[in-house]
């Protein structure tokens, strides 16, 4: 599960910054999440910040950063590729690692290419755009290997790790954009933050975005500027518009537009809506989400419709889904279909099976599989998502699927007390992996058929340490859901041990 899933939003809300301090938006390197083991005997290496030295890059870490060794101490270098020799400058020295940046590449990798996006080295989300696409796919298989080597779940060295399924065109795939907007001097900027900073980069073109999302974003930027709409000033915690969210339907081409605002009022919204109607006929719904104050969270709790349709619709595996502004849908429509087809093949369902859809969101996975099983029961902790899932069941005339609010430790025993035992289970958790309670319930109830859709190889490997007590891993199919980034996605087929 990726990006703005209900489960992830709940986790983020729980762990949000309530200190009032300016939040950090850039992606800061954290070696503890790199998957690399450190040698404790080399903490005293004589090196200092701003020191330069040549470095041979041995491999990539799980975040896409180059890894080399200086006097046998691990060095992390974003933007460097394996087999390259680079002159690097130290940016950070810690007891267990050194962080550095590239000054000059003396020997280039044959897999190095010029990024299509000029800003790729500045902002997050383009960690691998300087790398050929076949090499990116190979790296994403290696990410899985690194994670399994670190956690070593039962039988890990014999797992069938299948080559990453990529895209024919690994660009223009993101169907949703949520970009902050700020006034920098006299210029209105809409874009992304620089890595490890809070400096906003104005982005006229982003090649991983669907061109429609960028057209709408840039037009909205011009209209906001022309109409002198109040823009949020974070330093003063004053002003209105903070973020623009644009989502386009792959199925219909309709666009849903949301303004995230600092104030519950929206001065000038009437004139703005009129201008949007004239300039952007593809926009069929305009919304306002109220998210006051300094916060690292994009979304607030309250969303109202300003104009147009309540939903846009998307078709997935022959089923229609209504999407409100905060409803979760995978950002890569093409690869989403690949993931679901792989999951269906791995489950090998029959019409007699009872299927549990965990981390259900608005029901996209479970409802897509409903005609293959006897019954689907879904679980989700976000009430709005459960409502959407049950509505989506109705509009698709699906009568054998039902979604409930609750956790695994609440619903699994409840369903069992009703005499309902699951034959099959599909899970699609956020990057934090499976809840401890769900892992416990899986090991207690042991559904015969089990598929784990993961978006984080590290937490998958961690979860498999427990899961392989009761299941064997038949195979793991890596799928490139986010080309040009270090993000990994995979489908795991598990079979209950005898």
Torsion region of 365: left, alpha or beta (phi above 0 gives left; psi -120 to 50 gives alpha):
alpha
Q: Is the dihedral of CA 105, 110, 111, 113 positive or negative?
A: positive
Give me the residues paired with residue 482 across strands.
none
In residues, how long is the chain? 498
Neighbour-count burial for 204-239, b at 16+ CB within 10 Å, e otherwise: eebbbbbebbbbbbeebbebbbeeebbbbebeeeeb
Res. 5: pLDDT tops 50: no
What does the pLDDT read at residue 146? 95
Q: Which of 327, 319, 258, 278 shows the shortest CA–CA distance to 6?
A: 327
Sort strands 354-358 and 424-427 into parallel, antiparallel or unpaired.
Answer: parallel
Q: In this predicted model, what pLDDT tens digit does every residue of 209-267 receive, in sequence order?
A: 999 999 999 999 999 999 999 999 999 999 999 999 999 999 999 999 999 999 999 98
CA 441 – CA 423 distance, rounded (Å): 14
Residue 429 has pLDDT above 70, yes or no: yes
pLDDT of 43: 53
Give the max Cα distance, the chain. Answer: 69
Average pLDDT, the chain: 91
Report the Cα 95 to chain-centroid distance in Å. Answer: 31
How does pLDDT run across 22-78, given as a tens digit for each residue? 333 233 445 444 544 444 444 556 899 999 999 999 999 999 999 999 999 999 999
| Whether the Cβ atoms of residue 414 and residue 394 lie closer than 8 Å to each other | no
Q: Is the pLDDT of residue 196 over 90?
A: no
Cα-trace Rg, the chain: 24
48 is catalytic: no
Q: How confident is the model at residue 488 (pLDDT cuts 50, 70, 90)?
A: very high
From CA 270, how far away is CA 89, in angstroms rounded? 52
Which pLDDT score, from 0 to 100, does residue 45 have? Answer: 67
Element (H, E) at 352: none
pLDDT at 366 over 90: yes
Q: Where are the alpha helices (DSSP H) in 110-210?
A: 133-151
Residue with tokens 């899932």: 389
> 């590729």: which residue's tokens?
81
Dump pLDDT digits (tens) for 74-133: 999 999 999 999 999 999 999 999 999 999 999 999 999 999 999 998 898 999 999 999
User: Using an 8 Å Cβ cutoff, are 362 and 390 in contact?
Assistant: no
pLDDT digits (tens, 9 = 90+) for 271-284: 999 999 999 999 99
Mean pLDDT, range 373-385, rounded to an integer: 93
What is the mean predicted confidence (pLDDT) over 155-178? 98
Would you say residue 458 has pLDDT above 90?
yes
Active-site pick, 128, 206, 346, 455: 455
Nearest to 477 by CA among 347, 369, 374: 347
Q: Please tell me the distance from the alpha carbon of residue 497 to that of residue 199, in angstroms, as a whole number.
A: 52
For the whole model, what pTM was predicted? 0.88
Tell me what percent of the residues of the chain surpass a pLDDT of 90.
Answer: 84
């Amino acid at each position: 599960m990726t990006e703005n899933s209900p489960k992830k939003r709940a986790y983020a809300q729980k762990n949000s910054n309530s200190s009032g301090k300016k939040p950090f938006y850039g992606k800061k390197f954290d070696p503890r999440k790199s998957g690399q083991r450190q040698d404790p005997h080399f903490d005293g290496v004589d090196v200092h910040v701003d020191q330069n030295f040549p470095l041979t890059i041995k491999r990539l870490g799980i975040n896409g950063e180059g890894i080399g060794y200086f006097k046998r101490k691990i060095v992390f270098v974003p933007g460097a590729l394996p087999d390259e020799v680079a002159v690097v400058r130290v940016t950070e020295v810690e007891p267990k690692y050194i962080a550095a940046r590239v000054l000059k590449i003396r020997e280039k990798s044959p897999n190095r290419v010029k990024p299509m996006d000029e800003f790729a080295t500045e902002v997050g989300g383009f960690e691998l755009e300087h790398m050929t696409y076949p090499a990116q796919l190979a790296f994403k298989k290696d990410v899985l290997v690194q994670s399994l080597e670190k956690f070593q779940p039962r039988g890990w060295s014999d797992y069938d790790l299948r080559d990453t399924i990529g895209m024919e065109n690994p660009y223009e795939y993101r169907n949703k954009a949520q970009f902050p907007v700020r006034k920098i001097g006299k210029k209105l900027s809409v874009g992304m933050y620089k890595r490890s900073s809070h400096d906003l980069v104005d982005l006229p073109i982003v090649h991983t975005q669907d061109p429609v999302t960028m057209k709408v974003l840039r037009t909205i930027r011009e209209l906001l500027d022309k109409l002198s709409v109040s823009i949020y000033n974070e330093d003063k915690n004053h002003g209105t518009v903070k973020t623009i969210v644009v989502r386009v339907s792959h199925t219909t081409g309709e666009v849903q537009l949301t303004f995230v605002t600092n104030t519950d009022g929206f001065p000038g919204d009437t004139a703005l809506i009129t201008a949007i109607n004239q300039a952007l006929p593809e926009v069929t719904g305009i919304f306002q989400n109220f998210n006051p104050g300094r916060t690292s969270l994009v979304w607030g709790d309250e969303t109202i419709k300003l104009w147009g349709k309540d939903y846009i619709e998307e078709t997935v595996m022959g089923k229609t889904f209504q999407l409100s502004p905060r409803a979760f849908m995978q950002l890569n429509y093409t690869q989403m279909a690949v993931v679901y087809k792989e999951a269906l093949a791995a489950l090998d369902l029959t019409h007699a099976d009872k299927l549990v859809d965990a981390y259900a969101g608005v029901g996209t996975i479970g409802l897509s599989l409903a005609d293959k099983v006897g019954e689907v029961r879904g679980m989700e902790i976000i009430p709005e998502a459960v409502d959407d899932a049950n509505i989506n069941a109705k509009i698709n005339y699906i009568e054998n699927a039902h979604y409930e609010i609750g956790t695994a430790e609440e619903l699994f025993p409840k369903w069992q007390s009703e005499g309902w035992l699951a034959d099959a289970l599909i899970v699609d958790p956020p990057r934090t992996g499976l809840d401890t309670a769900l892992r416990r319930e899986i090991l207690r109830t042991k559904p015969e058929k089990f598929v784990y859709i993961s978006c984080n190889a590290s937490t998958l490997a961690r979860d498999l340490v427990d899961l392989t007590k009761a299941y064997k891993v038949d195979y793991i199919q890596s799928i490139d859901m986010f080309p040009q980034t270090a993000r990994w996605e995979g489908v795991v087929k598990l079979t209950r041990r005898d």
